[in-house]
């Protein structure tokens, strides 16, 4: 598995700085050294390995962008945090040095407050409910909201599409059957205020750690537990250092394809249509891959000796009720009401 290193991150950062100082972000122009003559090159970065359904969805988007544009758009995909963590990729997109990134909606809450709604535990009843919301007007308006930052000014981002990221569940060297099992345990969380509060309310000591550092952190006991979905537990190989996977389904936080507004605005209308269409088409493919990948991942994890525990969610739901109440204010409360009203 390709692990992020300081040097890969520095290479990405330096490339971005050089491109930005060249005056036109990191999109190649016709005849740029990065692409075939006439191709505009857009860099896409994310945190996951190449075997992951998210990466395969992005690869599909890249292929379709090439096909739709007749080779005039070329997407170069950088997986495994090669260009930095999710937060760093969002910052690069804002700065116009990275064209597109795939991040968890949980990483966006620090930039665009309304995205905190996704981290509210047990917000969605199930996967069908999540997708009825994301495929409808609420999903469309949430993608639009990505354009406006917490200070009410343009965020520098543009929402392209949502990807499936299933539900989050605890993994550790012990089973997590009730919140009492988390008491006094250090639990890795994303850099996400709501998730941190939720883990604390469940009894754990919330410990934010970048995704790429988590394997070593679990191995060395920097944290005792983490949480994620089955394909990500499998592809990250975190199961090698945590043999219990407890299906709490405590959050359904989708992934988001976010473009740099600066780079998007520099595309021609035709290029924007190709790119958006490629992103939209990749959603159906990624969702299909996700469904298959989740079943396969659970079967593989079992075969690898991971103990998978079905868990009663009710004690977890009760523990996080004060966190949900705390964040149900203003725009987030409006969104929760709209989401709950979706049948």
Residue among 47 and 117 whose Cβ is closer to ligand MLT: 47
Per-residue H/E/C for the chain: CCCCCHHHHHHHHHHHHHHHHCCCCCECCCCCCCCCCCCEEEEEECCCCCCCHHHHHHHHHHHHHHHHCCCCEEEEEECCCCCCCHHHHHHHHHHCCCCEEEEEHHHHCCCCHHHHHHHCCCCCCCHHHHHHHHCCHHHHHHHHHCCECCCCCECCEEEEEEECCCCEEEEECCCCCCHHHHCCCEEEECCCHHHHHHHHHCCCEEEECCHHHHHHHHHCCCCCEEEECHHHHHHHCHHHHCCEEEEEEEECCCEEEEEEHHHHHHCCHHHHHHHHHHHHHHHHHHHHHHHHHHHHHHHHHHHCCCEEEECCCHHHHHHHHHHHHHHCCHHHHHHHHHHHHCC
47 near ligand MLT, judged by CB under 6 A: yes
Using CB under 6 A, which of 80, 97, 104, 169 touches ligand MLT?
A: 104
Residue among 44 and 68 whose Cβ is closer to ligand MLT: 44
Residue among 28 and 57 whose Cβ is closer to ligand MLT: 57
Closest among 70, 68, 98, 72 to 85, alpha carbons compared: 98
Residue among 113 and 232 whose Cβ is closer to ligand MLT: 232
Using CB under 6 A, which of 105, 190, 259, 278 touches ligand MLT?
A: 190
Cβ at position 107, least distance to ligand MLT in Å: 7
Cβ at position 188, least distance to ligand MLT in Å: 8
297 near ligand MLT, judged by CB under 6 A: no
Cβ at position 195, least distance to ligand MLT in Å: 9
Residue among 232 and 260 whose Cβ is closer to ligand MLT: 232
Token pair 């944290």 is found at 223
211 near ligand MLT, judged by CB under 6 A: yes
Would you give the binding string for ligand MLT spanning residues 124-163, x where CB under 6 A is met?
----------------------------------------
Residue among 211 and 327 whose Cβ is closer to ligand MLT: 211
Using CB under 6 A, which of 88, 113, 178, 228 touches ligand MLT?
A: 228
Cβ at position 212, least distance to ligand MLT in Å: 9
Cβ at position 160, least distance to ligand MLT in Å: 16
Token output for 56: 């395969």
Cβ at position 28, least distance to ligand MLT in Å: 26
Q: Do the beta carbons of residue 19 and residue 97 sit within 8 Å?
A: yes
Q: Do the beta carbons of residue 53 and residue 230 sit within 8 Å?
A: no
19 near ligand MLT, judged by CB under 6 A: no
Count of chain residues binding ligand MLT (CB under 6 A):
7
Cβ at position 90, least distance to ligand MLT in Å: 12
48 near ligand MLT, judged by CB under 6 A: yes
Site for ligand MLT, residues 320 to 339, rule: CB under 6 A: none
The residues that touch ligand MLT, with contacts defined as CB under 6 A, are 47-48, 104, 190, 211, 228, 232
């Amino acid at each position: 598995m390709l692990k992020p290193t300081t040097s890969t991150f520095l290479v990405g950062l330096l490339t971005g700085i050089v491109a930005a100082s060249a005056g036109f972000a990191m999109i190649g122009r016709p005849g740029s050294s990065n692409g075939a003559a006439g191709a505009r090159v857009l860099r896409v970065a994310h945190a996951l390995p190449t075997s992951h359904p998210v990466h395969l969805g992005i690869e599909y988007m890249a292929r379709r962008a090439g096909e739709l544009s007749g080779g005039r758009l070329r997407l170069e995909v950088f997986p495994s945090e090669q260009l930095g963590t999710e937060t760093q990729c969002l910052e690069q997109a804002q700065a116009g040095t990275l064209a597109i990134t795939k991040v968890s909606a949980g990483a966006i809450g620090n930039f665009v407050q309304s995205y905190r709604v996704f981290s509210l535990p047990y917000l969605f009843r199930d996967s069908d409910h999540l997708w009825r919301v994301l495929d409808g007007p609420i999903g469309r308006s949430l993608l639009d909201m990505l354009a406006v930052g917490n200070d009410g000014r343009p965020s520098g981002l543009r929402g392209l599409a949502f990807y499936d990221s299933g539900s989050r569940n605890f993994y550790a060297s012990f089973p997590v059957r009730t919140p009492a099992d988390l008491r006094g345990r250090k639990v890795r969380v994303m850099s996400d205020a709501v998730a941190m509060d939720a883990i604390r309310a469940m009894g754990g000591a919330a410990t934010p750690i970048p995704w790429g550092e988590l394997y070593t952190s679990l191995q060395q006991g920097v944290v005792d537990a983490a949480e994620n979905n089955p394909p990500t537990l499998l592809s990250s190989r975190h199961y090698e250092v945590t043999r219990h996977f407890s299906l709490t389904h405590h959050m359904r936080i989708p992934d988001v394809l976010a473009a740099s507004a600066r780079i998007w605005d520099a595309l021609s209308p035709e290029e924007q249509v190709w790119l958006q269409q490629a992103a939209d088409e990749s959603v159906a493919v990624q969702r299909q891959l996700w469904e298959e990948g989740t079943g396969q991942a659970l079967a593989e994890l079992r075969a690898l000796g991971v103990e998978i525990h079905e868990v009663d969610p009710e004690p977890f739901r009760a523990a996080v009720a004060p966190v949900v109440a705390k964040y149900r204010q203003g725009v987030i409360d409006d969104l929760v009401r709209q989401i709950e009203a979706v049948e």
